[in-house]
Structure 1
C-alpha cells in the first residue's frame, strides 16, 4: 500500500491534529533541531498554524505518522512548496514523540514520503534544509541519497552560537536507481 510500511502508516493531517501537534510544538527538545524559532505557543496559535500552514497551503501535503501496532501518532511529515510545473518539492519530517527517536522510524517514514514523491507524484527533485548541528539527521539524509547542495552560513542562532543551514537535494533517478541505499523493501510497498 502506498502510505504504509512494515511499522508505519501515514494518515492525512486534519484540524483535529492541532492538540497533538501543539504538544510536539511546545517541546523545546523536539523543536531544537527542526524549527528555526524556539518559543512556547498558546493552543489557539497552534490551531491557527495548523489551519494556515499545514492544512491551508494548496502546494503542501502533510501526513501524521502512526505506529501500525499501537496506533500511536508519533510525528508529521510533509511535502511543501510543491511545484508541479518544475516537478520539485521540499520535504519536512518531525518525530514529535521522543520514544520513537533513534529506532529507524525517521528513515522508514522518509522512504515512504520519497516513494510517494517520486513514484506517485512523479517529482523530479526533492530538497530539504537541516541545521548543521543535527548530525543524526544529516547522516540519515545522506544514507537516503540526499546530496549537499549549499549552505546558508551562520543563519541560525541557537544556544549562544551561530550555525549553518545545510541545503540538500535528491533527484528522482538517484532515488529510483538505488543511490538512496536499500529502498527495495519500501518500493515494493508503493
Structure 2
C-alpha cells in the first residue's frame, strides 16, 4: 500500500481532539509563537480543548486546512502544517509549519512540507506555493531555501512585536521548480 501522507519519519494526519496538549505546548513558547505569527494572552486548557475539538470536527481539505505532523517511530505529536489563502483561479496557496522544540533538527519540517507540497501540486492542481517568514527566523528561511523556494521580496518593517518593527521575507516555489528536484507520485 502506498500512502502519500506518510514519509520515512513522519505522517500527516487530521487533527484529533486529543492533540490539544500538543497545540498548547506549541503556544507556550513566546519566541516560537512570534516566529509563527502573533503572541496572544495565555489561554486556558479548556480553550485549547475546545479549539482542537472544533478543528477535529472539520473535514480537512478545501480552501484552508491544518494537519498534524506525527512521528512514525512513536506516533507522537511533532507539530502542524497549514494551508491557507488558496487562490484556485491563479493556482496559488500559502503554507506554514510549526515543529515542537523537542522534534527540531530531525528532518520533520522538511518531510512534512514535502508531503504537503506533493499533495497540493500533484492532487490539487496548484502551481505555486508562497510563504512569509520573519527576516530573523533563520531556521525557517533555511528550510524553505533548502526545499527550493526562491526569495521574491521583502516587506520592510512590516510586523510589530517585541517593541519594534520587523521585516518579512516572501518566498515562493512553483510546481515545475518542485518537480525538478522531487519525484512525482506514482499512478499505481
TM-score range, shorter chain: 0.7 to 0.9
Counterpart residue number, 1:2: 4
Q: 1:189 to 1:3 in 2, by over 3 A?
A: farther
Counterpart residue number, 1:87: 91
Counterpart residue number, 1:149: 152
Counterpart residue number, 1:119: 122
Counterpart residue number, 1:129: 132
Counterpart residue number, 1:63: 67
8 A contact 1:2–1:189 mirrored in 2: no
Structure 1 residues without counterparts, runs of 5 or longer: none
Q: CA-atom RMSD, angstroms?
A: 2.5
Counterparts of 1:42 and 1:152, CA distance in 2: 34
Counterparts of 2:148 and 2:33, CA distance in 1: 24
Partner of 1:32, secondary structure, is helix
Offset of 1:158 from its aligned partner?
3.5
Matched pairs, number: 182
Normalising by the residue count of structure 2, what TM-score does the alignment of the two structures yield?
A: 0.84
Partner of 1:40, secondary structure, is coil
Q: 1:47 to 1:106 in 2, by over 3 A?
A: same
Counterpart residue number, 2:27: 25
Normalising by the residue count of structure 1, what TM-score does the alignment of the two structures yield?
A: 0.83
Counterparts of 2:22 and 2:114, CA distance in 1: 23
Partner of 2:35, secondary structure, is coil
Structure 2 residues without counterparts, runs of 5 or longer: none
8 A contact 1:153–1:163 mirrored in 2: yes
**Structure 1: 4+ residue segments shifted above 6 A:** none
Partner of 2:86, secondary structure, is strand
Counterpart residue number, 1:100: 103
Counterpart residue number, 1:167: 170
8 A contact 1:83–1:89 mirrored in 2: yes
